[in-house]
Structure 1
C-alpha cells in the first residue's frame, strides 16, 4: 500500500482535511489558524506533497478505504475537502456512511461528472509540456493560467497565489507519465450513490466558480439528505483558500454541530 504523509496541528476534536489537485496539506494552515480548539489532520493525497506516487491501478474506492483507515486511527469523523479532494471525501461518505459525521465539500467534484472543457484542454497541454520542460515553474505557470478559471479567484490574493505556486512548482506530475489519474477518474458517482451519504453536509461554491462545479453543488443539494449549499460572494474555485475569514464561522458551526 502506498504511504500517505499526514500532518497535524492543534488540539481538540479531530478534523481531517483533504486538499485539491497539485496541492498538499500545507495549503490549509491559514484556515487552521482561524479554527482553534480542533486537532487538524492534513493528509497529502497520493502523488502529492510528502506522499508516495499514485500506484498503478489505484481506484477511487481503494483510495477512500485508505483514507478511512486514517479516519479511524485519528477518530477524525469530521472531514473538510476541496475540489479533487472532495471526490475522495464523497467516496468515503458513500462507502462508509457511518464513519463520516460531518462533511464539508468546497468546489465539489463528482467522480465521472462532465469535466470543465477548458480544464480538460489544459490537462492535455500539460501532458505535452511535461516531456519538454519537466516539473517546475513552466508546468506550474501553465496549470495556473486562465482559462480554466481554477486559480483566477486567487489572482486577487497575491500572497495566496504565491503560496499555491510554491507548492505546485514542487509537484512531480508523475501521474502524467503513468496515467494513474485516469484510473482514479474512471469511477462514477451516481445519484443513488449520493443518496447513501448520511453525514451532515455543507457545500461551499464560489459565485465565480465554473459552471460544472455549480452543477455538482446542485446535485449534492438535491440528492444528499442533509445538505446545505453556501454560495460565497467574490470567490472562485478555491473559496476556502481565497476567503478563509469569510468561511471560518460557518465551518466552525458545522463541525461543532456534528457532536
Structure 2
C-alpha cells in the first residue's frame, strides 16, 4: 500500500523561503515565536505525517520516502533553507543527504541521527506511552506522561511556563496513532553513516543546549566533525529544545546563517 503523504503547510511572511520541520508530537504552530522574530523570510512550516493537519503516519513509511516527499515540498516552495528540531532534524538530515543540490543552508537543533543510540530513558518512556495508549487512548494523560522527566526532553521548558503550557496544548492534540499501529518502526529503521553525512553540501549550523541529553551532545559533535561545512553553537542554560526555549537568542543566529553571513 502506498503511504499517504499529504502534508499540511503553514506559511507566514515574505522573502526567501525557509522550510521548518518540528519535533515529535508537535506541529508547525510551535514556530510562531521565532517567525515573529525573523522578518524578511517566507516561513513554511510543514506538519510531519501523523502530526498537526497532515495525513496520518502509515505503517511502512521509510525515512528516504519521507525525505523524498519533503524534497517535493522544497521544489514546490522554492525553499533553499531548512530549519529542523530534534525528531524533525532526522528528516532534514536525510533530505540533505539524499538531495544535496536542493539546499544551501541547514539548521539542526538537538540533532537526531537515524540509527544512533538514543537515551535509555526515552525508550522506556515510549514503552510506557504505548501501554497507556492501549488502555486509555489519546488525550491529556499521554501529554503529561510524555512531558515528564526523565527523559529530559521538556525539562528546559520548566524555566518558561508559558512555553510549557503552549507545548502541552499542542501535544494533547496529537493523535498518538503510531503507538497503536507501530508506524514509527519503518521510519526509524534507517541508519545515518559518516559517509552519508559527508554528502551534505548545505552550509550547516547545529544548535545545542548545554543541558541537553548525552545522546544529542554526541550527535552534535559527530555532525561538527563530519559534515563538510558545519558550525556548532552551544547555548547556555538551555535544554533539549533550544529553538523554542530561547527564541531571542536563536533568532539572530538563524538570521545570520540563513542570510549567508560569514561564520564567526
Question: Shorter-normalised TM-score: what interval?
Answer: over 0.9
Question: Deviations 1:61-84 (Å, cap 9, x if unpaired)?
Answer: 000000000100000010000000
Pick closer, same or farther for the CA change 1:83–1:193 going to 2, 3 Å. Answer: same
Hey, what does 2:20 align to over in structure 1?
A: 17
Aligned with 2:217 (options 192, 214, 217): 214
Hey, what does 2:73 align to over in structure 1?
A: 70
Hey, what does 1:187 align to over in structure 2?
A: 190
Q: TM-score, normalised by structure 1?
A: 0.99
Hey, what does 1:84 align to over in structure 2?
A: 87
Question: Deviations 1:63-112 (Å, cap 9, x if unpaired)?
Answer: 00000001000000100000000000000000010101100000000000
Hey, what does 1:100 align to over in structure 2?
A: 103
User: Do 1:102 and 1:258's aligned partners in 2 also have CA atoms closer than 8 Å?
Assistant: no
| Cα distance in 2 for residues equivalent to 1:189 and 1:113 | 8
Secondary structure, aligned partner of 2:102? coil
1:223-234 alignment runs, 5 A limit: 223-234=226-237
Question: Deviations 1:23-52 (Å, cap 9, x if unpaired)?
Answer: 000000110000001000000000000011
Hey, what does 1:245 align to over in structure 2?
A: 248
| Cα distance in 2 for residues equivalent to 1:189 and 1:92 | 12
1:101-120 alignment runs, 5 A limit: 101-120=104-123
User: Do 1:97 and 1:197's aligned partners in 2 also have CA atoms closer than 8 Å?
Assistant: yes
Hey, what does 1:4 align to over in structure 2?
A: 7
User: Do 1:24 and 1:45's aligned partners in 2 also have CA atoms closer than 8 Å?
Assistant: yes
| Cα distance in 2 for residues equivalent to 1:221 and 1:230 | 10
CA RMSD between the two structures: 1.0
Q: TM-score, normalised by structure 2?
A: 0.97
| Cα distance in 2 for residues equivalent to 1:112 and 1:22 | 20
User: Do 2:59 and 2:184's aligned partners in 1 also have CA atoms closer than 8 Å?
Assistant: no
| Cα distance in 1 for residues equivalent to 2:188 and 2:142 | 21
User: Do 1:200 and 1:258's aligned partners in 2 also have CA atoms closer than 8 Å?
Assistant: no
Secondary structure, aligned partner of 1:35? coil
Confirm or deny that 1:165 pairs with 2:168. yes
| Cα distance in 2 for residues equivalent to 1:242 and 1:87 | 20
Q: Which runs of 5+ in 2 are unaligned?
A: none
Residue 258 of structure 1: how far off its partner (Å) = 7.7
| Equivalent residue pairs, number | 259
User: Do 2:5 and 2:69's aligned partners in 1 also have CA atoms closer than 8 Å?
Assistant: no
Q: Which runs of 5+ in 1 are unaligned?
A: none
Question: Deviations 1:116-161 (Å, cap 9, x if unpaired)?
Answer: 1100000000010002121111000000000000000001100000
| Cα distance in 2 for residues equivalent to 1:127 and 1:246 | 36
| Cα distance in 1 for residues equivalent to 2:120 and 2:34 | 30
| Cα distance in 2 for residues equivalent to 1:166 and 1:95 | 34
Hey, what does 1:59 align to over in structure 2?
A: 62
Runs (4+) off by over 3 Å = none
Residue 56 of structure 1: how far off its partner (Å) = 2.1
User: Do 2:49 and 2:55's aligned partners in 1 also have CA atoms closer than 8 Å?
Assistant: yes
